[in-house]
Chain A
Amino acid sequence: MKKALIPLALFLVIAGFLFAGLDLKPREVPSPLVGKVAPDFELPVLHQPDRLFKPADMKGKPWMLNVWASWCVVCRDEHPVLVALAKRDLIPILGLNYKDQPEDAKRWLKQFGDPYLFSVMDAEGRIGIDYGVYGVPETYLIDGAGVIRFKHIGVLTPEIVAGKILPLLKAMP
């Protein structure tokens, strides 16, 4: 009787591991940057290329950095979420236009709407590497002290905005 239970116990252990595995997302690598100061950079603004932006310019208030590109197909899925969030005027959203052509990027924003305070151009993807970007779109929530408080990889959904970003924002001074 006891012996007969061994395969059943083994089965349950394996099934437990597999079941837990269903919810794991191996593509979403936890970022070591959360809790650290957002890496510094200086990049030209998309619509005013002779103006340079640095994260220090945003010091004192929380802001969002959204990595996007006109070649990124799923960015179109997330775009309405950003547009809706921008309309509520809760937090400035900045775009990091990643490895894109300025003309394509501008046309894209005209077509789908521009939720960004402004976008900056990371033409070669170097700042993307500093921010650990590996799957556009990615979104960072940065607090008034310039510390990254949250990172989301992939398409931003209304659930993530309402369940993660807005509560974190509310808790910020």
Chain B
Amino acid sequence: MRRLALVLVLALGLPGLAQQAPQEARLRLLEEKLRCLVCQNQSLADSPAGLADDLRRTLREQVKSGRSDQEILDFMVARYGDFVLYKPPFKATTALLWVGPFVLLALALVTLAAMARRRRNATAEPDLGAEERRLVAQALGTQEDRK
């Protein structure tokens, strides 16, 4: 009897679950890609705002009706603009946003290299003439410079 029940559960339950699971995973992924506009530092997945509930409902309906991820994201952007995406597209207006950090990194590296070179030059033995060497040796009380 128990075995029969198990077989039944596996036969009936699992296909249903299996169908539902990828849909839920897709929903979760979509919700994390979208910003809640009420509490702007939260994704739709995390936001408790009323609007986020409504948008999650809309996402669910659209996923169920078989729309692709791109269609759903386009739907959101058409209404709320690029800002609704946590990963905004690369366009003229967002170029600084995408490239800026790398520009800063490059500048920092160049500055670092310049400073390192200057420091290496500063610690190298100073270029002294014969007269200067004699004066140094005299001041230090040594007979003659070792070189």
A26 with B40, Cβ < 8 A, contacts A31-B81, A130-B79, A131-B79 known? yes
CB of A41 within 8 Å of the partner chain = no
Considering the chains assembled together, what is the distance between the CA atoms of A27 and B79 in angstroms? 16
Name the one of A26, A30, A130, A134 contacting B51, with C-beta atoms under 8 angstroms: A134
CB of A129 within 8 Å of the partner chain = yes
Name the one of A26, A124, A131 contacting B54, with C-beta atoms under 8 angstroms: A124
Q: Are A132 and B79 in contact (CB under 8 A)?
A: yes
> Digit string of A108-133 for contact with B (CB within 8 Å is 1, else 0)?
00000000000000001110111111
B74 to chain A, nearest CB (A): 11
Considering the chains assembled together, what is the distance between the CA atoms of A130 and B76 in angstroms? 9
Interface size on B, residues (CB 8 A): 14
A124's nearest neighbour on chain B, judged by CB, is B54
CB of A83 within 8 Å of the partner chain = no
Q: Which residues of A contact B58 (CB under 8 A)?
A: 126, 129
Q: Are A132 and B80 in contact (CB under 8 A)?
A: yes
The range of chain A's interface size is: 10 to 19
Q: Which residues of B contact A130 (CB under 8 A)?
A: 79
CB of B110 within 8 Å of the partner chain = no
Q: Are B38 and A135 in contact (CB under 8 A)?
A: yes
Q: Which residues of B contact A99 (CB under 8 A)?
A: 50
Q: Which residues 59-100 in B have Cβ within 8 Å of A in the complex?
A: 77-81, 83
A29 with B51, Cβ < 8 A, contacts A135-B37, A135-B38 known? no
A32 with B80, Cβ < 8 A, contacts A129-B55, A129-B58, A134-B51 known? yes
Q: Are B83 and A129 in contact (CB under 8 A)?
A: no
Q: Which residues of A contact B50 (CB under 8 A)?
A: 99, 125
B37's nearest neighbour on chain A, judged by CB, is A134
Considering the chains assembled together, what is the distance between the CA atoms of A133 and B50 in angstroms? 12
CB of A86 within 8 Å of the partner chain = no
> Digit string of A130-143 for contact with B (CB within 8 Å is 1, else 0)?
11111100000000
Q: Which residues of A contact B54 (CB under 8 A)?
A: 124-126, 128-129
Q: Are A32 and B81 in contact (CB under 8 A)?
A: yes
A6 to chain B, nearest CB (A): 10
Q: Are A29 and B79 in contact (CB under 8 A)?
A: no
Q: Which residues of A contact B81 (CB under 8 A)?
A: 29-32, 132
Sort A-B residue pairs by CB-CB distance and give the 5 closest, nearest first.
Answer: A134-B37, A132-B79, A32-B81, A29-B83, A125-B54
